[in-house]
Amino acid sequence: MVNPRRKHIFSIHTGCYYSVIILSQISICSLFSMPPSDQFSKHPRAFPVATNGEPFPWRELRLPNMVIPLHYDLFVHPNLTSLDFVASEKIEVLVRDATQFIILHSKDLEIMNAALHSEEDLRYRKPGEKLNVLSYPAHQQISLLVPEKLMADLRYYVVIDFRAKLADGFEGFYKSTYRTLDGETRTIAVTDFEPTEARMAFPCFDEPLFKANFSIKIRRERGHIALSNMPKIKTIELQGGLLEDHFETTVKMSTYLVAYIVCDFKSLSGTTSSGVQVSIYASPDKWSQTHYALEASLKLLAFYENYFDINYPLPKLDLVAIPDFGSGAMENWGLITYRETSLLFDPRTSSASDKLWVTRVIAHELAHQWFGNLVTMEWWNDLWLKEGFATYMELISVNATYPELQIDNYFLNVCFEVIKRDSLNSSHPISNQAKTPTQIREMFDAVSYNKGACILNMLKDFLSEEKFQKGLIHYLKKFSFSNAKNDDLWSSLSNSCLEGDFTSGGFCYSDSKMTSNTLTFLGENVEVKEMMTTWTLQKGIPLVVVNQEGRSLRLRQERFLKGVFKEDHSWRALQEGYLWHIPLTYSTSSSNGIHRYILKSKTDTLDLPEKTSWVKFNVDLNGYYIVHYEGHGWDQLITQLNQNHTLLRSKDRIDLIHDAFQLVSAGRLTLDKALDLTHYLQHETNVLAILKGLEYLESFYHMMDRRNISDVTENLKHYLLRYFKPMIDTQSWSDEGSLWDRMLRTALLKLACHLNYAPCIRKATELFSQWTESNGKLNIPTDVLKIVYSVGAQTTAGWNSLLEHYELSVSGAEKNKILYALSTSKHQEKLMKLIELGMEGKVIKTQDLASLLHAIARNPKGQQLAWNFVRENWTHLLEKFDLGSFAMRFIISGTTSHFSSKDELQEVQLFFESLNAQGSHLDVFQIVLETIPKNIEWLEKNLPTLRTWLLVKI
């Protein structure tokens, strides 16, 4: 994307740049007609300038493929006192095309020596040739200039000595600290390389396609242990009391999966039936919280081996809880690293939602051992091939191993969450161009993860579970220890069953007469690739418009866009060129069976076999599309919900609630009609349907509260308490019931106390008093712990007591609940103290700053405080988090995307313009600048309707 300000400047000087552009194109064309090495030797001035002033022989962000790595011998010695490390490596490379230079990635490393050895040099122990090293930090690259041209098809060995400081943030080879129970601060060293940070730890070919084997040696003190991807072979004692651990050579893998840790952690271990040793590591004081993770890991690893029909290829798997961690977890092959709250489970303080989270994250990272590690995308534009699959496999694996968690309920929210993002014009295709490290980091978003998972679930429903699984196995086996792209997946899913393998469902793969990507569906040939590229190569989500006329269904597909109305002048242009192949499913009032149809055109007609009073599309929410029922369609469905909602499937009822409120935002349905639909919830027993309806009503309350629209806020409060009172009053303050019963309890009681419902406040205050009198020793039921703490935090004594307990707690789950409670204070000085503690990074770890700012911004008393802080401390925040990191994106969206006034929009626009002028640009800026006007528009269009509707209802 071109910077708008820069584009304007250039347009003024079009005349004087025109001839220069033509001349440069001529010289560039002549350059690219010769090999890269010759280009540099003949036209050095056409290349960038290295830090020493010499021409740098490569100008692309991507590395050349003239030289490829085969094997790395890597030695690392971190010093946890001086907080730096020294290291050396020997890279065996294969020269594919003759060249006079080797380009590697390197970032913030001091190269001390570099030498080149031929196979003959090593055989006869010759010293090798010293290499001239050039550095080009703008591309995070170094060039090794060789005295004589390297010959094609020969192997060479590059030896480099280097050193660096242990990084301060969460990337590369960085330091992490934790406090023991007696107050001692201890330091560990840990790596996190995805997507482009292996280059911060050792010079390397830091792209997914350059797979190699790694032999790693780590030097350490006796009081520490060293962990890496593979099991330890031996430990050598050195002079001075140091130890050196040697690890087995890895399988062939990408650099971003390399990992090593030096720490003093304790572990809990078990072995799978296939002989893989699984170990959970944590700091000594948290070792007791590792038991659930071990149980889940053993179960899930065994499931995946069976499901994929491929054994986990390494002899061991370590899962390590890291005290300071930027993301939720990282799937390093054989050494998976986690944020403590994503791996550890404390029965005293971890709630039902905490258990679901830990199980999901473990399932996600274990799925990566196949999707991502065994088969890796060729480039980051197809990140979804691993992240979408790992998210989808959470659903499959947890359903099989922990059915009581009912994760298919949660998976609905996975799709709902990304629809919010994908219904904006600022969304992007699943498979999307990414070149710079910042652009690559931005690919790690809901579209790659959630939408990827949702379209896979839709495809599985279309093909059948059995054939989908066969296709995945075919894909994994064919591309093991290699790289793949979108088309490779579609080919595998089209060729995984035998010729003539038809089913009663009417679909199977093609026989030999058809193309390789064709399958037969209900007697019609369907191209898998042709269908699925409409979902991966174009952004957005389709809206299926249904108009029922007797036994005829008129269908129309459009692009669904939140906040863009058919009468808007931009609507038609935004629809241009969008067409999906949509595998529709539907049921009717007269037939509960699932009917299928593929909508490939803008409009189509379906004839029903019999008359029906209503039709419901997207059965069980397996499709990734929104449905609008024109004419009397919605009225008929609402009537059915009120008369007997059980005639509709439970997931279909959730879908109707979701789609109705989405359609309000696009002007297709009036708000009062969507609100009327929720009226049936007083008879609903499905927890997910109740939670979905509650979510929308509560979001309206918070919007009114933040804007201080007091009359609507008060009326919404009265309506919520009256409408949900029977459900609230039946909740016990306990941890009893199924997981989703417990989730409902938490949601209802949290809402009740937030709305100052007297019985709720009274009970929470009573429990908090008992907790403080016991000096924090009382075990409060985990599902109401956050609620009790939040009520307690409203007094100065309670707030201070919670902050003290926060410092002492060894449970990450409890600390999260306390931090949320502290952020609900009505006193700005207390909220500011939390932010200062988060910036300092000692009491409140820096890793929690983003979620803290988000929580404070959602507090009406803290929203302006958080926003002002981000604007005034942007430079300081960039010192703690990388520009494209999830943390920075979450800080930006978390403190701004809820704004709904024109003054707030202007403030945000001015701030983002100032950042663009400084060269800082993120896609999230555009997301926010699209979201705030839609919030403003939603209020303008719907506030009068909401006000009137409430007056009638209360």
The tokens describing 88, both together, are 């050396």
Strands 67-79 and 213-220, bridge-based pairing: parallel
Using DSSP, how many helices (H) and how many strands (E) does the chain show?
A: 33, 32
User: Which residue is it, tokens 């952004």?
Assistant: 539
The C-alpha atoms of residue 332 and residue 198 are separated, in whole angstroms, by: 12
Structural contact between residues 310 and 374, judged by C-beta atoms closer than 8 angstroms: yes
Tokens 């939408």 correspond to: 451
Contacts of 747 (CB under 8 A, 6+ apart): 691, 694
Q: Cβ–Cβ contacts within 10 Å for residue 586, how many?
A: 23
Whose tokens are 């979201």? That residue is: 931
CA dist., res. 93 & res. 88, Å (int) = 16
Show the tokens assigned to 102. Answer: 């080797």
**Is 695 among the residues known to form the active site?**
no
Long-range own/partner contacts, residues 32-41 (CB < 8 A, 24 or more apart): 35/97, 35/98, 35/99, 36/64, 36/66, 36/99, 37/66, 37/97, 37/98, 37/99, 37/100, 37/101, 37/149, 40/100, 40/101, 41/100
Cα–Cα distance, 230 to 258 (Å, whole number): 10
Q: Side by side, which strands form the sheet with 232-237?
A: 129-130, 110-118, 155-165, 84-95, 67-79, 213-220, 243-247, 232-237
Helix (H, G, I), strand (E, B) or coil at 512: coil
CA dist 315 and 309 (Å) reads 17
For residues 66 and 152, what is the distance between their CA atoms, to the nearest angstrom? 9
Residue 250's contacts (CB-CB under 8 Å, 6 or more residues apart) are 213, 214, 215, 216, 229, 230, 258, 333, 334
* Other CB atoms within 10 Å distance of the CB of residue 718: 14
Tell me the C-alpha distance between 542 and 583, whole Å: 12
Q: Are 223 and 264 in contact (CB under 8 A)?
A: yes
Q: Residue 669: which of 523, 545, 495, 522 has the closest Cα?
A: 545
Strand 582-588 relative to strand 591-599, pairing: antiparallel
Measured in Å, how far apart are the chain's first and last C-alpha atoms?
Answer: 50
Catalytic residue among 207, 295, 331, 365: 365
- CB–CB of 300/362 below 8 Å? yes
User: What is the Cα–Cα distance from 540 to 551, expressed in whole angstroms?
Assistant: 31
Which amino acid is located at 900 in the chain?
A: S
For the record, the structure tokens of 517 come out as 């990507």
Residues 557/582, Cβ–Cβ less than 8 Å: yes
- For 109, phi then psi, to 5°, come to -110, 140
Q: At what angle do helices 785-792 and 739-754 cross, to 10 degrees?
A: 10
Omega into 195 within 30° of 0, i.e. cis? yes
Give the CA angle between residues 77, 83, 88 to the nearest 5°: 25
Phi/psi for 839 (5° steps) reads: -70, -35
Containing 189, the helix (H) or strand (E) segment is strand 185-192
Which tokens is 685 given? 């027993």
Q: Which residues are catalytic?
A: 365
